[in-house]
Amino acid sequence: MAQYTPMMQQYLKIKADYKDAFLFFRLGDFYEMFFNDALSASKELEITLTSRDGGDKDRIPMCGVPYHSAENYIAQLIDKGFKVAICEQVEDPKAAKGVVKREVVQLITPGTVMEGSMLDEKENNYLASVTEFKDGTFTVSYNDLTTGENSIALISTGFDAVMSELFNRPVKEVVIASDFDDERQQLLEQQLGYTLSYCDQSDIQEGFSHLVEAVHQDKFIEGFGRLLHYIEHTQKRALDHLRPVQPIELKEYMSLDMYSKRNLELVETLRKQGKKGSLLSVLDHTITSMGARMLKKWLERPLLSKEEIKTRHDQVEGMIEQFFEREALREQLTSVYDLERLAGRVAFGNVNARDLIQLRNSLAKIPDILITLEQFDHPSLTKLYQEIDPLPSLRKLLDDSLADDPPITIKEGGMIRDGYNGQLDDYRDASKNGRKWIAELEGKERKETGIKSLKIGYNRVFGYYIEVTKANLSSLPEGRYERKQTLTNAERYITPELKEKETLILEAQEKSVELEYQLFVEVRERVKGFVQALQSLAEQISCIDVLQGFAESADKNDYHRPAFGHDRVIDVKQGRHPVVEQVMKGESFVPNDIYMDDTTDVLLITGPNMSGKSTYMRQLALTSIMAQMGSFVPCESAVLPVFDQIFTRIGAADDLVSGQSTFMVEMLEANHALSHATEQSMILLDEIGRGTSTYDGMALAQAIVEHIHEKVKAKTLFSTHYHELTSLADQLDRLKNIHVRAEEYEGNVVFLHQIQEGAADQSYGIHVAKLADLPDSLIDRATVLLNHLENANPEVAASSEEEQLSLFVEETKPSKQSKPSAVEKQLKDLNLMQMTPMDAMNELHRLQNQIKS
């Protein structure tokens, strides 16, 4: 340290405690960065890299940003997953003896952002913590610092379930112990893209015990304790807005693993990874940002309780029935700001006067909302408004204290309403009317003394004074004028009246600003007492917003109320895909029925590519999710079971991050479904087995279907191009063949997108290639080869690997039928339907070796 200047020694000492963060070191009007921070920040922020003398023989790399625009630069770094430590001057430079004292006042990380400009207003910003225990169980804790929300879940089904749980929420940062498994850390960083932070303390400190009153398990307390310690360490300020931890009872919600959420495009699309084109985008008719966040939570966790689902459906139905009242409610909600995050900012201490004006305006709309809700006739809606507290005392406090158009900053004055504080009114009066009063005093003194040249002036040294030329000194009254300064040709005086006003005038502006700040802080502290009530109000208004949004989407998109049976029957009439039909506006979406009674567990779907098999499968899953989250559904009618889990394998893509092939990803996702599904689950498998050779793929596909049919017994939709699998309907009594209808017309295929019973008769692959505008010569050649393959003789079909049919030779005439060989006889005698896929593969291998030998 000795080689550096005292200031640089101070910097290095502070930086040592924040090695994984950019240290924004306050120097005057700039935040400066040095050494490696400067090198990295200059690249990430595209700002100029300079250097300075720091006492070392080499100049020190340096870059900086103005403090008044630092928020934009911090936002860029946070968005890239970095952390930023804000180091401020914590003493007056004038009073400092030596280097000004500096401290880190806040560590901003991706999961602890509070500034509105860095947040998506319609999405939570979760900080999570994962804690592993010796028995192999995990806790996953969540905190949204902007809203004060805290929750925790216990997971006993392995780390894959932890990954799925984290993937299910908009998590930005994960806190773990320093000895957390390295491979799992890589999964969290690389596969899910989280910023990792470390904390080894996990006890609940004094003053926070009330947060864990609702949880009694030691694992919950330890898991949340780690998260709480990290928040305390990074924020270094009051955390009064933190709400008690809510245990997440995973068994109360439909389970959607990360594969299903991704494949079904619930909150973002696979291709563009944006909201547009997702189920969330179709359902989001919320007005408030806090309502949008609650909608996303409901979508992430569909309900399992029929009673709770029924209550939501009743409330949506009540809002659908009264269009004009619903429109009035939507109009009123437009004036309600984000009460949830406003409450968080109040408690956090970074709320400004404009934020409180938003709060005041929002509270002013609550009585109107209550009046509108009372006009709904449906009894299910009564509970929505009976328990709402419009907080009239808080509204009155804000009405009485705050000016209507305050500035953004809280140290410039102009925030407090006239009449709220007498002393402040005097300061303002002095500031506004000081010059007028001085002019009036000057006129008064001239009149009383008869001295026309008398004048009142001001300078910074002596303040206000009355100046009289020496020739007129005899005209001054005795005893009232006090000499202040002597000039060559004049004397300067002050009177008790001027002296009294001088202090008021000179200090009016400064004192006014100081007093306003004090009054604002007092108001803010009083508002802090309403934080819990505001959080409760925010939750109630959010719920109302989501329900009216469901009613709006049902009304606009012709959705109907689903019913839930007591058996495992699926009966959807004229079902539609909620997203695809929106994309196809102007075109007619072809609706389809789906029926699976107690005697049908598996629907085997065949049909050409582009015919709509995947859409048909997805729409059943999305319909079930919508129904169980409380929404009406896109069909004429629907009777559904309550599904505990939905598993999907739709689409194929390599997992480049973990180095897994398409086929491996396919097998892993299929295994996940087979391992965790129950009779109350839904499984969607699309083209399983296509990532490997034909025989491998067919064998695996059949084995998977048989396993689901005999052991899992979940409701399953299985699409395939292996037409040979359709014969399984003769062997598996709870499997049924259906296909997507297509017709050939004048050499072209016409996709009718209609589901019919039975198996498809052909795949129309070449027709699809023709639709894709492949060259005509290529299409013609493929047609010739297809005819050749379909008419090939058994000798060619059974040829050895060394004599396989070449697809690149001219078409030849089939040879004469030869006498069957011994291998052919054995092959003909095999009873394939009584063999397992593995036995069949072994027998095929034996016959192949027999031919080769």
Helices assigned H by DSSP within 590-742: 613-629, 662-676, 694-707
Give Cα separations from 671 to 187, 342, 668 (angstroms).
Answer: 19, 45, 5
Report the distance separating Cα 10 and Cα 7, nearest Å: 5
Asked whether 541 and 288 are in contact (CB, 8 A), the reply is yes
Give Cα separations from 414 to 396, 402, 407 (angstroms).
Answer: 19, 9, 7
Report the distance separating Cα 334 and Cα 388, nearest Å: 18
Does 613 carry a binding-site annotation?
A: yes
DSSP 8-state symbol, 416? B
User: Which ranges in the chain are annotated with CATH 1.10.1420.10?
Assistant: 284-391+530-557, 422-510
Report the distance separating Cα 802 and Cα 729, nearest Å: 36
pLDDT at 463: 85
pLDDT at 776: 75
User: Which ranges in the chain are annotated with CATH 3.40.50.300?
Assistant: 563-768
Does 608 carry a binding-site annotation?
A: yes
Does 631 carry a binding-site annotation?
A: no
Report the distance separating Cα 725 and Cα 722, nearest Å: 6
CB within 8 Å of 583: residues ≥ 6 apart? 277
Looking at CATH, the fold of the domain delimited by 116-248 is given as Nucleotidyltransferase; domain 5 (3.30.420)
CATH of 563-768, picked from 3.90.230.10, 1.20.120.420, 3.30.300.130, 3.40.50.300, is 3.40.50.300
Class of domain 284-391+530-557: mainly alpha
User: Which ranges in the chain are annotated with CATH 3.40.1170.10?
Assistant: 6-108
Does 61 carry a binding-site annotation?
A: no
Asked whether 433 and 524 are in contact (CB, 8 A), the reply is no
pTM: 0.81
Query: Closest Cα to residue 392, out of 420, 416, 354, 364?
Result: 364
- Helix count and strand count (H, E) for the chain: 27, 27
Class of domain 422-510: mainly alpha
User: Which ranges in the chain are annotated with CATH 3.30.420.110?
Assistant: 116-248
Give Cα separations from 647 to 154, 180, 707 (angstroms).
Answer: 21, 29, 15
Does 609 carry a binding-site annotation?
A: yes
- In CATH, which superfamily holds the domain spanning 6-108? DNA repair protein MutS, domain I (3.40.1170.10)
pLDDT tens sequence across 112-164: 998 877 888 999 999 999 999 999 999 999 999 999 999 999 999 899 899 99
Query: Closest Cα to residue 690, out of 728, 669, 662?
Result: 662
Residues facing 466 on adjacent strands: 456, 493
Does 611 carry a binding-site annotation?
A: yes
Report the distance separating Cα 758 and Cα 171, nearest Å: 45
Asked whether 379 and 481 are in contact (CB, 8 A), the reply is no
Query: Closest Cα to residue 759, out of 607, 609, 610, 613?
Result: 607
Does 607 carry a binding-site annotation?
A: yes
Report the distance separating Cα 373 and Cα 238, nearest Å: 37
Report the distance separating Cα 370 and Cα 389, nearest Å: 10
Does 835 carry a binding-site annotation?
A: no
Residue carrying structure tokens 């780690």? 226
Asked whether 486 and 514 are in contact (CB, 8 A), the reply is no
Residue type, 540: Q
696, with CB counted inside 10 A (0-12, 13-18, 19+), is middle
pLDDT at 139: 96
Query: Closest Cα to residue 137, out of 153, 150, 116?
Result: 153
Asked whether 328 and 287 are in contact (CB, 8 A), the reply is no
Taking CB atoms within 8 Å and a gap of at least 24, the contacts of 212-216 are: 212/244, 212/245, 213/244, 214/244, 214/245, 214/246, 214/247, 215/152, 215/245, 215/247
- pLDDT less than 70: residues of the chain: 1-2, 586, 651-661, 691-693, 744-750, 761-772, 779, 785-786, 789-819, 832-834, 836-838, 853
